Amino acid sequence: MAKDVLCEVQNCQFWSQGNRCSADAIYVVSHAGATATSSTETDCKTFQPSE
């Protein structure tokens, strides 16, 4: 079953129409160690600026 990964960062090289992420894999990290308590403690390391 395919899942959609949605993203609003239009200047990312993996951004596609409909706010979809076209990356083969998504890498998310936490600033708080192994456990995050909110989305503000995380970042998408998959992001690459589009040219």
Distance separating alpha carbons of residues 2 and 18, to the nearest angstrom:
16
CA count, 13 A, side-chain hemisphere, 9: 14
pLDDT at 42 (0 to 100)? 96
**Which residues in the chain come in under a pLDDT of 70?**
1-2
pLDDT at 29 (0 to 100)? 96
pLDDT in tens, 8-19: 999 999 999 999
Domain residues of the chain, as ranges? 1-43
Distance separating alpha carbons of residues 21 and 34, to the nearest angstrom:
24
